[in-house]
Structures are given as structure tokens and as C-alpha cells.
Amino acid sequence: MSETIFALVSSYGVAAIFASAFLSCLALPIPTSLMMLSGGAFVTIGDMALWQVVSAAFAGAVLGDQAGYLIGRFGGAPLVERIARSRSRQAVLGRARALVDRRGALGVFFSTWLVAPLGPWVNFIAGTTGLNWLRFTFWDVLGEAVWVTAYVGLGMVFASQIEMVAGILGNAVGLLAALAVGAAMLVWIAGAMKRQRAAARARAA
């Protein structure tokens, strides 16, 4: 995988980084993080300029998130449900909905870097729920700045060990996503128990 990504970045430069960042924000399975790591490595060896790599990744990510938000806003929940036809996508969509319900615009910030696999689905949900566009954009831009800076920076520092770093980060993201799901389930269970107690008190009265 890493050799293919290196070849794409080497052949198409920042255009490949921009395209991958944009498309991955629309829930397409593209290894954008590895693209950015590779871009950082090319900066270190002098084949690319840092400002070009960062600008391409950042612009692609923000524009992709905006596109996802608009799809949710104007396509509505039925369109998003059609996009998430498979059972696995439905599960991720449910986790994204729980994150937005619980954290609102702050959930957008966390979804761009802390639980990045949820990011595209959070964009859709933010649009369908009518989350204020300015608030969405503010937290999205802030989060993507963290994501891009972290991955391009790691690519520069660990230019000779990109594959190892990608594996470590992939495992870390998976763990964080699992923790987020677990937290959402605990919140849901706590809410359900609270509603049951309230209903029992109402019946007793």
C-alpha cells in the first residue's frame, strides 16, 4: 500500500493529496492520512514545498467537509440513508449521529482528527440536522488544521519510517473510535435508565 501511495504522490504531486483529502471526506475509502504522511516525507527530502502540501491537504479536506454538509443539508436524511446502504455504514452513521447529538459543533471538531473515521458521516449528519453552517465551518476548519498539521508533520519527522507510523496511527484511530462508540453507548444506556426511573415514579404517583 505505501509503495502505491508514494508512487501516486510522486507522479501527481499535490493534486493527488488534494483529491484524496476531498474524496475521503465524502466517505470514499481513500488512505488520505498515508497520503499526507507521504507528502511530509517528500517535503523532508526536498521534492515538495511544505506550503504546497499543507495547502492542498487542508483545502481538499475543508472543501470535502463542506460538500458533505451540503449533501446532508439539501439532500436530507433520505439521501444520507441511501448513501449508507450497507450494515457497516449504517452503524458508522449511527455513531456519527450520536456524536453530533451529544457534542454538537464540538463533535465536528473531534470527528476531523480524534475519531476521523466518523468524520464524513458527521458532515452528513450536521447538514441533515440543520447545524448552523458558521459553527460547523469554524470547528471544521479548526479540526482539519490539527489533522493536516499532525500528519504532514509526522511524515516530515519520520520520513524513513512511514509504513510503521501509518500502522501505529491506524491502530490508535481504531482504538479512539471504539472508545467513542463505547462512550456513546454508556450515555444512551444512562439516558434510558433515567427515563425508566422517571416513568416508574410517574406511575407510582
Higher pLDDT, 142 or 170: 142
Q: Residue 91 is part of which domain span?
A: 2-204
pLDDT confidence tier of residue 134, bands split at 50, 70 and 90: very high
Give the pLDDT confidence score for residue 162 in this predicted structure: 55
Task: Express each pLDDT in 145-191 by its tens digit.
Answer: 999 999 999 888 877 665 554 454 444 444 344 444 444 444 444 55
- pLDDT digits over 26-72, tens only? 999 888 888 888 888 889 888 899 999 999 999 999 999 999 999 99
Query: Mean pLDDT, the chain, as a whole number?
Result: 82
Q: Report the domain count for the chain.
A: 1
Q: How far apart are CA 118 and CA 190, in angstroms?
A: 23
Q: What percent of the chain has pLDDT over 90?
A: 39
